[in-house]
């Protein structure tokens, strides 16, 4: 039974890999927006970067890059959810749902595939940012950043699968995800320190799971975080686990 589940996870993961690398436009498209954010915001605001409470040795590009990497991981949740709806539309989901494969294994395979593609894009963006002038303060922190990227990917891809499981069309899903994803993105402290938010907005930002992912990435890569790294890791781990369980449960209840 375990081997069958592992085989299902592997097959779903491999399918996501093939779909991703065959769609060259998707690879370019998902990197284009983060890259232009780095160029426009990183170099546009770099000369005027002087936020209260920020260390003097951190420029705006260094502050921005971890947030943009977190944003890249977040936006991939949309593609993971849309792929579920595409499979519904073209009948693949119905075929695999009536197979002996367990539904939680199907979800885990999709999440594994989505996380892998998101990690590929995240690390590619990190490499590009090094050529733009980004400085990694602690090279050993790359491993910790890798963990934070995995947790962000698992959590939000699980969330995307959960939303897609209760929807029927891709247009409606895209609208709903935009209403949800952009506030999550903007309130996570990607562009500005959360500590500079008004008190009421800071409370909302601290309820945003991406806040802990972005702060954790900054702590790992540039040794600047406003929340302790262990707390970031614990909260993000709980979020990722809960989204996997929630997404698996909704997927198992979905009708094809």
Section 159-179 average pLDDT: 78
Name every residue whose Cβ is closer than 8 Å to that of residue 195 and which is 6 or more positions away in sequence: 53, 202, 226
pTM exceeds 0.85: yes
Distances, alpha carbon 162 to alpha carbons 13, 78, 119, 224, 254, in Å: 18, 11, 21, 33, 10
Q: pLDDT digits over 88-111, tens only?
A: 766 666 666 666 667 778 788 888
pLDDT at 233 over 90: yes
Least reliable range by pLDDT among 46-55, 173-182, 223-232:
46-55
Domain with 6, as residue range(s), is: 2-253
49 pLDDT higher than 60: no
Q: 39-63 burial, b if ≥16 CB within 10 A, otherwise e?
A: eebbeebeeeeeeeebeeebbbbbb
Check: CB of residue 74 under 8 Å from CB of residue 181: yes
How many domains does the chain fold into? Answer: 1
80 has pLDDT over 70: yes
SS3 of residue 205 by DSSP:
helix
Question: Which tens digits make up the pLDDT trace of 23-47?
Answer: 666 667 667 777 777 777 766 665 5
Measured distance CA(115)–CA(120) in Å, rounded: 9
Tell me what the mean pLDDT of segment 118-126 comes to.
86
Mean pLDDT of 61-66: 86
């Amino acid at each position: 039974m375990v081997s069958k589940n592992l085989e299902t996870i592997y097959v779903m993961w491999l399918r996501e890999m093939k779909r991703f690398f065959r769609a060259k436009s998707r690879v370019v498209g998902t990197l284009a927006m983060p890259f232009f954010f780095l160029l426009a915001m990183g170099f546009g605001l770099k000369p005027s970067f002087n936020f209260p409470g920020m260390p003097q040795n951190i420029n705006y590009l260094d502050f921005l890059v971890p947030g943009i990497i977190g944003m890249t991981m977040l936006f991939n949740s949309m593609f993971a959810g849309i792929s579920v709806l595409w499979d519904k539309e073209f009948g693949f989901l119905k075929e695999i749902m009536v197979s002996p494969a367990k539904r939680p294994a199907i979800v885990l395979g999709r999440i594994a595939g989505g996380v892998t593609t998101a990690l590929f894009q995240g690390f590619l963006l990190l490499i590009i940012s090094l050529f733009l002038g980004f400085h990694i303060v602690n090279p050993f922190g790359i491993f910790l950043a890798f963990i934070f990227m995995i947790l962000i990917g698992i959590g939000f891809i699980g969330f995307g699968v959960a939303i897609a499981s209760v929807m029927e069309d891709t247009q409606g899903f895209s609208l709903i995800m935009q209403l949800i994803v952009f506030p999550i993105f903007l309130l996570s402290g990607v562009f500005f320190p959360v500590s500079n938010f008004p008190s009421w907005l800071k409370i909302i930002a601290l309820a945003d799971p991406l806040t802990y992912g972005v702060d954790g990435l900054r702590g790992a890569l540039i040794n600047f975080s406003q929340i302790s790294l262990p707390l970031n890791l614990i909260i993000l781990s709980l979020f990722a686990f809960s989204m996997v369980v929630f997404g698996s449960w909704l997927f198992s209840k979905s009708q094809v």
